[in-house]
Amino acid sequence: MDEQTNPQTPSAQQLALPIEEPTLPLDQVRAMRRLFMRRWVRWHRCKRFEDAMADPITRRLLALAVSRPRAGRSSA
């Protein structure tokens, strides 16, 4: 059976990210900007935070990075 007739093979459309992201809280966006400017700007292809946020994958990674505590850092 080939890929076109196999119903279990996910299509590219199923794997696509949503076009519009929900609006993020202001404090989360500020934390994302701080993280980008302190750590990511040195190696990221986008040098401006606004350009980086236009990329849905970068936006999602920044959101995840600020929503989860860093490994090795104690919360106490």
Cα 46 from Cα 55, distance rounded (Å): 9
**What is the arithmetic mean of pLDDT over 4-30?**
69
Secondary structure of residue 40 in the 3-state scheme: helix
Residue 76, amino acid:
A
pLDDT in tens, 30-69: 999 999 999 999 999 999 999 999 999 999 999 999 998 7
pLDDT for residue 38? 96
Cα 41 from Cα 46, distance rounded (Å): 7
**What is the arithmetic mean of pLDDT over 22-26?**
87
Report whether pLDDT(10) > 70.
no
Q: What is the pTM of this model?
A: 0.64
Secondary structure of residue 15 in the 3-state scheme: helix
